[in-house]
Structure 1
Amino acid sequence: MLTYLATALPRFTSPAARLLALQCALRADALGHLRVPHGLLRGMRLYGCRELWQELAQAHWLDLPDLKSAPVEVQLRDATLLDQVPGRRTRRHAAHWALHPAPLALPATAPPAMRLTALVLAAHTCAHDHRGVDMDILARLCGHSPQQTADMLDQLVRIRTLSTWRCNRDSNEVFWQLQPQAPTRPAALPRRDRTPQR
């Protein structure tokens, strides 16, 4: 879906508009219609951002919805989207995962550009596959220039989502390592009353 959006939307569509488009694409029915609850928009920190809807409408990707309605009724205009999406249940799972792209953990206040970059990295992260991703492809999926993408990767290292990243100058491939997560301990069980029974 990220590859589809990278080709369907203008190259420098904002990261926030790309995140919104991704959720719309994954939540739409077979006719390209969906209802977007205000709570979802608030959770994505995109509530009240009329300019994002206008950006997608100007790209002829959707019809500009009435943002005062609750939920927001959206009609997608791109017919090719409907031909390539998997089943609705699979798309709903993907829409939820896109909001919390494990294994990359981000603070809830992360800006859209950082969230989109983390989502793209998470989609290309596999526990047993350490192949790189071409920087130009990574930048296109993130809607950035390669320099902006490098800056985003640096920021992900600074906030400790990634432990490191590098770009192989010969192959132009980007490699990254996730920040090791602290092992979670099971919750302590309450102690039983040790008073002897009589």
Structure 2
Amino acid sequence: MWRLADACAACAAATEQSAVVPDTVLVPRHQPRHAARRRHRAAKGPGDRVRVAEILSYLAAALPRDMSAAARLIALQCALRMDSHMQVQLPVGVLRGLRLSAPHLWQELEEARWLRTLPGRPGEVAAELLDSALLSQYPSRPDRHRAADWALRAGHAARTAGEGLHVQLLDIYTRALSDPTTDRGQGEIDRMGRECALEEHGLLTAMDRLVAIGSCAWWRACPDTGDLHWYCSSEPVMGDADPGPG
């Protein structure tokens, strides 16, 4: 039987059958870079943009047409962050940064019977989602969490500060539908309005606001096809002219 006890170095040195244990600094063992790359989990299925775009499309069918943009932004984060029991905990700080912490926004989703709020830990809002079809969307939770983080960055609250939350939702939507290599995107005006809860006039006005805040360099509607084309800007771009077709 071994007995272990703490003592100062002087007492340990004077005690029979004892030993002084030096301070130990744990240094991580150096590993080659290629080994770290092998451990990195590769995402399964579509990328973050596609995940966000498809969840927004799904929510357009699952939620009432008159559901506000704020409630849709909450639903987007909930759908991407829920666990296997369809429960989610969202930090209040994140919601406050997105201007989504008001209780009435959650009430919209409760009245639509899409979720119910639960008692949560301090600093969090907890909810249980009631739409079981979400379980068939993307079962890989790490990939969904990464897409949720991408949506937070895409709808940068500082960039859309002072704008309506419908502008923030449209900012996320247009970036999700843009080609990551060219930052250009296109979509059907009717479908975009349905998925962002905007009428056509409101949609075009919101696109103008994205240009004004520098989130979109230019946009163009094509009456013949009913499509909307745009070019997203990662940095504020003021006064850029429409480059025309092609």
Equivalenced residues, count: 180
Q: Measure, in 1, the Cα distance between the counterparts of 2:183 and 2:124.
A: 40
- Percent sequence identity over aligned pairs: 36
What secondary structure, in the 3-state scheme, does the structure 1 residue paired with 2:117 have?
coil
- Residue 143 of structure 2 corresponds to residue 93 of structure 1: no
- Residue 170 of structure 2 corresponds to residue 120 of structure 1: no
Q: CA RMSD in A?
A: 2.3
Greater alpha carbon shift after TM alignment, 67-76 vs 22-31: 67-76
Higher Cα Rg, which structure: 2
Question: CA contact under 8 A between 2:60 and 2:195: conserved in structure 1?
Answer: yes
Q: 1:61 aligns with which of 94, 97, 114?
A: 114
Letter in 1 for 2:173: V
Task: Render the CA deviation track for 1:123-146: whole Å, top value 9, x for unaligned.
Answer: 110024856210011111111111
Task: Render the CA deviation track for 1:39-73: whole Å, top value 9, x for unaligned.
Answer: 121121112x1111110011110013457954222
- Residue 229 of structure 2 corresponds to residue 178 of structure 1: no
- Decide whether aligned partners of structure 1 residues 18 and 105 sit closer, same or farther in structure 2, where only a CA change above 3 A counts: closer
Question: CA contact under 8 A between 2:184 and 2:231: conserved in structure 1?
Answer: no
Taking the TM superposition and a 5 Å limit, the aligned residue runs for 1:114-193 are 114-126=167-179, 127-128=181-182, 130=184, 132-179=186-233, 181=235
What secondary structure, in the 3-state scheme, does the structure 2 residue paired with 1:85 have?
coil
Q: Measure, in 1, the Cα distance between the counterparts of 2:66 and 2:100.
A: 18
Letter in 2 for 1:125: S
Q: 1:71 aligns with which of 94, 113, 124?
A: 124
- Decide whether aligned partners of structure 1 residues 113 and 131 sit closer, same or farther in structure 2, where only a CA change above 3 A counts: closer
Q: Which runs of 5+ in 2 are unaligned?
A: 1-54, 237-246
Question: CA contact under 8 A between 2:174 and 2:232: conserved in structure 1?
Answer: no
- Report the counterpart of residue 107 of structure 1 in structure 2: 159
Deviation at 1:165, TM superposition (A): 0.7
- Report the counterpart of residue 193 of structure 1 in structure 2: none
- Residue 83 of structure 2 corresponds to residue 17 of structure 1: no
Question: CA contact under 8 A between 1:156 and 1:162: conserved in structure 2?
Answer: yes
Q: Measure, in 1, the Cα distance between the counterparts of 2:136 and 2:63.
A: 17
Greater alpha carbon shift after TM alignment, 61-70 vs 172-181: 61-70
Q: 1:45 aligns with which of 62, 85, 99?
A: 99
Deviant stretches of 4+, over 4 Å? 66-69, 128-131
Structure-1-length-normalised TM-score: 0.83
Structure-2-length-normalised TM-score: 0.67
